[in-house]
Chains A and B, each alone.
Chain A
Amino acid sequence: MNVLAIGEQRDGALRRSSAETVTAAKRIAGAIGGTVHALLIAPSAGDAASLGQYGADAIFVASGAGAAAYDADVFAATIADRVQAGDYFAVLFPATAQGRDIAPRVAARLDVPLASDATGLDIADGELVITRPVYAGRAFAKVVLNAQPRLVSIRPNSFRPERAEGAGSVETVSVSDTPARVKVRETKAAAAGTVDVGEAAIVVSGGRGLKGPEHWPMLESLRDALGSTAALGASRAVVDAGWRPHAEQVGQTGKTVSPQLYFAVGISGAMQHLAGMRSARTIVAINKDPDAPIFKIADYGLVGDAHDVLPALTEEIRRIAGH
């Protein structure tokens, strides 16, 4: 039995989440004695073969007209076709914006349940035990899927890509001819290369303490100094005030994030905000109130006015990191 990892490309290059799903698949395949397959739907194979470096034995690339632009129905049908053609113990999706959109449709098409947003996977007595946060991280559940294949989406940054030997042979398959039913009229995209807050390795979040949208360039400078894997986040207070788009909101009614590093700047640390970021590996808080609740969970707190601290912090990071 094999394990299928779903890959994802953006702007013609594989995303880090693809290496993460393959790494997780390799771990499961190792435990059950199977091989790792990967599936990528993309206009061209591009760097798909590199998934072999994380342990993929067979890499299927569905390319062609239908792969040029993302459509949930077409992508889901293509994945369902591939799953039905193989004998899969499990299928792993990245819990990216696209992965979250596709996985439930594939599950319904195949009539199997789906566990979303896993942060841990273990094999116990031959069964896949999935750990996933519930109640926005206020509890964790260990669940088992009583079906085959086991469909799981895995949370970005939860499985560090690991190098492994895989045959890495690439095979072209066709994109489903299922008609697209949703038509895109217009896209108002952010600048190319922008990382989604839900997937970024580093998140720089601002709250009401920044005092107004005109101060965001300070946060943007810090983000830029931290390199291309950093993204901006926001508290709900600033989203409600219209300073920032909802897509950047972190928390119970926004994104749940698990980055390596999280900066909370001018954010008090309300329960609903903590819910969305408490699983970050390292948390830094900058707040002028020493009693702000955010300091209770921050690994490193700095008491001070964001308007003074941010430029100095950006400068210091630029000096050592050279971005």
Chain B
Amino acid sequence: MKIVVCIKRVPDTEARIRIASGGREIDPAGIKFVISPYDEFALETALRLKEAQGSGEVVAVTVGESTSGEQLRSALAMGADAAVLLKGKTSFDGLATAHALAAEMREQNADLVLLGMKAVDYDQQQVGPMLAELLDRPCITIAASVAVEGATVVCHREIEGGVEVVEAPLPAVVTITKGDFEPRYPSLKGIMAAKKKPLAEKDAHAAPSRIEVRELLAPPDRPPGRVVGEGVDAVPELVRLLREEAKVL
């Protein structure tokens, strides 16, 4: 079975976000970039599926600038067999990204395409279902676990107020949330092996962004915190403030 995992290079979740002069982009200086956390779960899911089957191939694909090669190398070090860098600028427009990925998927012909449920930079939560539509494939979103039974993919998915077990015929597209496991760290052996694995580079199928960023702003400041008091004795005062001052009760 062949599985393609779409991964994105994003700022580390602890990074302090500063707006670059010009006010439309973030200042990348001093920021550590990582594979978006849900994409790591997607990659881990793919590697586990391959291990469970005892055979298969896992390919990591990204759309990004040449710096995104670092994240592909990490994916190879974690255990992906091959990687593809689709060179192009990423934007808020998930549909443009989905078009670039769809062009590559038509060549890859994978049984299963895994994505993160959302990339933690623009938080759009849209590329997975868009890609599925463009490829005319069934799509299961927000899967916490994925199993393959013959030509069927079976997932546990998070739904509002519960969990649902769903299935779809392969080939399919699945977006991944955090499951009952942690993504593995690359081993030293994995890092060495990654250097010999194929990392292809090609130009992304150009789809222009139709989302124009007018301005990027720092979040509104919150007033500095205030401590109402200590222990049980402060409870009546807290409730009074919530009722009379904040007017939320």
The reply to whether chain A is a binding partner of chain B is yes
Which residue, A112, A113, A316, has most C-beta atoms of chain B within 10 A?
Answer: A113
- Say whether, besides A105-B133, A302-B234, A100 and B125 are in contact (CB < 8 Å): yes
Q: In this assembly, does B189 line the interface, its C-beta being within 8 Å of a C-beta of chain A?
A: no
Q: Are B124 and A320 closer than 8 Å at their CB atoms?
A: no
| Complex Cα gap A66–B154 (Å) | 23
Does the CB pair A133–B123 fall under 8 Å? yes
Distance (whole angstroms) from the CB of A306 to the closest CB of chain B? 11
Hey, which chain B residues are within 8 Å of A112, CB to CB? 95, 210
Contact residues of B: prevailing secondary structure: mixed
Query: Is residue A237 contacting chain B, with contact meaning CB distance below 8 A?
Result: no
| Given A107-B130, A182-B139, A96-B160 contact (CB < 8 Å) | yes
Beyond A72-B139, A187-B164, whether A316 also contacts B225 by CB under 8 A is: no
Interface size class of B (residues with CB under 8 A): 35 or more
A18 to B90, CA, bound (A): 33
Whether the pair B236, A316 counts as a contact (CB closer than 8 A) is yes
Known: A104-B129, A281-B246, A283-B222. 16 other contacts (CB 8 A): A101-B142, A107-B130, A112-B210, A139-B26, A139-B216, A185-B166, A260-B248, A271-B13, A284-B238, A284-B242, A296-B224, A300-B238, A302-B228, A302-B231, A312-B232, A320-B249
Q: Which of B198-237 contact A (CB under 8 A)?
A: 209-220, 222-232, 234-236
Instruction: Find the residue from B134, B161, B164 having the highest chain A CB count within 10 A.
Output: B161
CB distance from A190 to the nearest CB of B (A): 4
- Report the minimum CB–CB distance from B218 to chain A (whole Å): 6
Instruction: Say yes or no for B65: interface residue by CB 8 A criterion.
Output: no
Residues from chain A with Cβ under 8 Å of B223 in the complex: 299
Query: Which chain B residues numbered 125 to 159 have a C-beta less than 8 Å away from chain A?
Result: 125-130, 132-134, 138-142, 144, 154, 158-159
The residue of chain A having its C-beta at the shortest distance from the C-beta of B140 within the complex is: A182
Please tell me which one of the listed residues A98, A108, A303 contacts residue B231 in the complex, with CB atoms under 8 A apart: A303
A114 touches B246 (CB 8 A): no
Q: Does A109 contact B (CB under 8 A)?
A: yes
Interface residues of B in 76-132 (CB under 8 A from A): 92-96, 98, 120-130, 132
Q: List, in ascending order, chain B residues with CB within 8 A of A184's CB.
A: 164-166
Residues of B within 8 A of A (CB): 11, 13-14, 16-17, 19, 26, 37-38, 92-96, 98, 120-130, 132-134, 138-142, 144, 154, 158-169, 177-178, 209-220, 222-232, 234-236, 238-239, 241-243, 246, 248-249
Residues of chain B within 8 A (CB-CB) of A278 are 219, 222
Q: Binding site of A, secondary structure by majority: helix, strand, loop or mixed?
A: mixed
Q: Which of A30-38, A51-59, A143-151, A213-221 contacts B (4 or more CB under 8 A)?
A: A143-151
A116/B178 in contact, CB under 8 A: no
A196 pairs with B161, CB closer than 8 A: yes
Partner pick for B95 among A114, A239, A272, CB 8 A cutoff:
A114
User: What are the residues of chain A within 8 A of B163 when measuring CB–CB?
Assistant: 187-188, 245, 247
Given known pairs A113-B210, A252-B120, A282-B246, the reply for A302 and B217 (CB within 8 Å) is no
A104 to B241, CA, bound (A): 42
Contacts of B167 in A (CB 8 A): 182-183, 185
Q: How far does the alpha carbon of A164 sit from the alpha carbon of B224 in the complex, in Å?
A: 37
Distance A320 CA – B225 CA, assembled complex (angstroms): 25
- Give A143 to B215 CA distance when docked, in angstroms: 7
Whether A107 lies near B219 (C-beta < 8 A) is no
Does A304 lie within 8 Å of B211, measured CB to CB? no
A111 CA / B219 CA spacing, docked (Å): 31
Contact between A308 and B232, CB atoms less than 8 A apart: yes
Known: A138-B17, A253-B120, A260-B248. A320 touches B218 (CB 8 A): no
Between A and B, 12 residue pairs with Cβ closer than 8 Å are A114-B95, A116-B123, A135-B120, A138-B16, A141-B215, A146-B210, A182-B138, A185-B165, A196-B160, A253-B38, A284-B238, A300-B242
